[in-house]
Amino acid sequence: MARNCAAAVVRYRQRHRDCYRDCTPRCFREGIGMSDVLIIAHAERAEALAASKRLVAWLEGKGHAVEMGSVEATAIGRPELGVDEPIRAVPDLAVSIGGDGTMLRSFDLVAAAGVPVLGVNVGHLGYLTEFEPAQLTDMVAAALGGSLDVSERMMVSARVRDTGAHDVGAQDSETWTGLNEVVLEKRDPGHTVRLEVWLDGDVFATYAADGLIVSTPTGSTAYSLSAGGAVVAPTHSSLQVTPVAPHMLFDRSLLLPPDTEIGIRVISERPALAAVDGRSAGLLATGDELVVTRAPYDARFITAGGDSFHRVLKHKFGLKDR
């Protein structure tokens, strides 16, 4: 049944996204044992590789098929398990072993196919990863058995609208998708960049700043937080625009409905760098635009559903009662 579910994903993913948006959660709701597992690990952390090796042995012992990134597979002595990125086949479950950066990479690889991700923390803060290495096989077994929940969180998309007047480092037709944020910031140190912001086709304001961040609720505790943005519950749906070191009177974050189209046009003579979850999305010159919207699909987190958002926030950030 799980393989049939994956087959349905492959068959319809280009024609009808709702097919696999419904299909994957049903596998969990009905407790269907899954068989295809993708492991995405931090290739430079010994603890992540050791945990991956243990998980591979456990999964294979249970008869499940396993794939890994080529670098990680080679690092644990199992190069035959390696697959190239982007991932072509659609796994039933992805297991991310690392920190928050590894989780971002995991969703970049599988979110478009509706694949749920189980996060195991061997990093530092681990805000996006719910489980610890000691829980690894128990939680994977629970996920494969259908006894864990799937929490959906919105993602953000960005594309460069090239005016054609200059060479830019991104293609006009290319769309970038991220879980945390889209950033447009200055390239040249010691100077600000001037960015004209449009909301649903209407000019809102021109920012003179080091940059602008458009974050999801999940990304509100990342770069946006350090720039003074609000903390938003991750299952909420909204887009937040936060200026970075603004040189203007209006220096507050702007919380917008999730279906808002945000256009950001470079109007300074100096170019600006675009990035999505830390990945470069190109260099924008004067007159070029970055269009930011809600992504057409959500990220799916495997969760035990025990802790509320505010408890996780308190624990991860070390907040005290007094």
Hey, which residues are catalytic here? 100
Whose CA is closest to 66, among 75, 77, 78?
78
For residue 58, give both structure tokens: 């456990």
CA 301 – CA 65 distance, rounded (Å): 21
CA 222 – CA 260 distance, rounded (Å): 21
CA 303 – CA 294 distance, rounded (Å): 23
Q: Using H for helix, E for strand and C for coil, what is the string for 250-276?
A: CCCCEEECCCCCEEEEECCCCCEEEEE
Pairing of strands 202-209, 193-199: antiparallel
Position of tokens 């675009």?
A: 274
Element (H, E) at 25: helix 17-29
Distances in Å between the Cα of 241 and the Cα atoms of 117, 141, 178 are: 27, 40, 15
Q: Largest Cα–Cα distance in the chain? A: 62
Position of tokens 């943005």?
A: 229
Whose CA is closest to 90, among 41, 23, 140?
23
Query: 122 exposed, middle or buried (CB, 10 Å; 0-12, 13-18, 19+)?
Result: buried
Residue 44's contacts (CB-CB under 8 Å, 6 or more residues apart) are none
Count of Cβ atoms closer than 10 Å to residue 181 Cβ: 28
